[in-house]
Amino acid sequence: MTSAPFVSIVIPCRNEVRYIGACLDSLIANHYPKERVEILVVDGMSEDGTRAVVREYAVGNAGIRLLDNPKQVTPAALNIGIRAARGDFIMRVDAHLVCPPHYLPRSIAALNESGADNVGGVLVTLPTDQTAVSRAIAAAMSHRFGVGNSYFRTGITKPRWVDTVPFGCYRRDVFSRVGLFDEELLRNQDDEFNLRLLKGGGRLLLIPDVVSAYYARASLEKLWRMFFQYGYFKPLVVRKVGGVMTARQLAPAVLVGTIVSAALLVPWLDAGRWLFGATVGGYLAADLVVSAFLARRLGVRVGLAAIAAFPVLHFAYGLGYLLGVFDFLIRGKRPAAAVSLSR
């Protein structure tokens, strides 16, 4: 293993004192030569003690470095880390992630074996705490009713070529060929970058045997903010790359758009009342059925909380998407330099 390629791990973060220690512990414990790894924590000027935690870890591990991100947004942090990285391979990791011991060696091996340009693994979404709401949010974010055919969230049984992966491991030359992350995309920067990579002839591989734990947002309010922002910036990705990546990203917007349009037609047309009733009734029925199954598996309180979690996820994304269409595709608006993210 002394000839193992050098790996740079880039962690964008801001105010993650609750999670950064567990993330760093999991990376330090990986079965990969310690002298062949550097961990670059690119911090958006945290105010909650995150920086002090990272400095403490750096004292005992020379491979950990704390870098400043004065712009305080994720794509800027990624670009700062990539420019500072010394590795032959560059891996993006989120502060909410806890990686298994074989995360690094298996990812590097999969890149070399497959010829892929970006490899990622499956996420098991965990609740932040043991409240019913937190557990319901984690369940919703890993259920097909919640996230559709997002395979890295719902799981796979064999390697699969995909359109995006979470927290990818990249060959370094990818960034020379494709460029860096788009700093206007305060959300969805991974999606846009990966589509750019695909358009340039690159390939993305999702592998089932690297399973990481990811801590979901703890409240419905934070879930709403997170998915509203995901939806809002998705049309900007569409504008930049010239097309929609997958049908799943349209489903929540179609749902919300149908309900709003039907509601506006209700006073005037019988068809509006029928469409409104059928859409809302069908959605509520599906929500109740799925939540009932979750109640059997996770408990009644979690099932009741899931009844709210699924609509929050879908309607936040759908409303955000429709607003993003109006702002970015119709008005041609430029994104703001900064936005309050859901940390």
Q: Is 16 contained in some domain?
A: yes
pLDDT(11) > 60: yes
Confidence of residue 341 (pLDDT cuts 50, 70, 90): very low
Q: Is 63 contained in some domain?
A: yes
Place of tokens 């794509």: 75
77-86, 128-137, 190-199, 222-231: least confidently modelled range = 190-199
Q: Is 53 contained in some domain?
A: yes
Q: Is 11 contained in some domain?
A: yes
Q: Is 224 contained in some domain?
A: no
Q: Is 44 contained in some domain?
A: yes
Share of the chain above pLDDT 90, in %: 66
Mean pLDDT of the chain: 90
Residues β-bridged to residue 42: 12, 67
pLDDT(343) > 50: no
Which tens digits make up the pLDDT trace of 79-132?
999 999 999 999 999 998 898 999 999 999 999 999 999 999 998 899 989 999
Q: Is 334 contained in some domain?
A: no
The structure's pTM equals: 0.82
The confidence score (pLDDT) of residue 317 equals: 95
Residue 288 or residue 218, greater confidence: 288
Which tens digits make up the pLDDT trace of 325-340?
999 988 888 776 544 4
- The answer for residues whose C-beta is within 8 angstroms of residue 17's C-beta and 6 or more apart is 46, 48, 49, 50, 53
To the nearest 10 degrees (0 to 180), the angle between helices 220-241 and 132-140 is: 20
The confidence score (pLDDT) of residue 88 equals: 92
Confidence of residue 211 (pLDDT cuts 50, 70, 90): confident
Confidence of residue 242 (pLDDT cuts 50, 70, 90): confident
Confidence of residue 1 (pLDDT cuts 50, 70, 90): very low
| d(C-alpha 294, C-alpha 3), whole Å | 48
Tokens of 158: 């064999």
How many domains does the chain divide into?
1
- Which three-class secondary structure string do you get for the chain? CCCCCCEEEEEEECCCCCCHHHHHHHHHCCCCCHHHEEEEEEECCCCCCHHHHHHHHHHHCCCEEEEECCCCCHHHHHHHHHHHCCCCEEEECCCCEECCCCHHHHHHHHHHHHCCCEEEEEEEEECCCCCHHHHHHHHHCCCHHHHCCCHHHHCCCCCEECCCCCCCEEECHHHHHHCCCCCCCCCCHHHHHHHHHHHCCCCEEEEEEEEEEEECCCCHHHHHHHHHHHHHHHHHHHHHHCCCCCHHHCHHHHHHHHHHHHHHHCCCCHHHHHHHHHHHHHHHHHHHHHHHHHHHHHCHHHHHHHHHHHHHHHHHHHHHHHHHHHHHHHCCCCCCCCCCCCC
The confidence score (pLDDT) of residue 244 equals: 66
27-41, 51-65, 307-321, 323-337: least confidently modelled range = 323-337
pLDDT(255) > 50: yes
Own/partner contacts of 322-326, CB < 8 Å, gap of 24 or more, are 322/231, 322/253, 322/256, 322/257, 323/231, 323/232, 324/231, 324/232, 324/233, 324/234, 324/235, 324/236, 325/235, 325/253
pLDDT(2) > 70: no
Q: What CATH number should be reported for the domain holding residue 6? A: 3.90.550.10
pLDDT(323) > 80: yes
Domain with 21 in it: 1-97
Instruction: Give the residue-averaged pLDDT of 213-223.
Output: 89
Q: Is 300 contained in some domain?
A: no
The confidence score (pLDDT) of residue 245 equals: 64
The confidence score (pLDDT) of residue 231 equals: 92
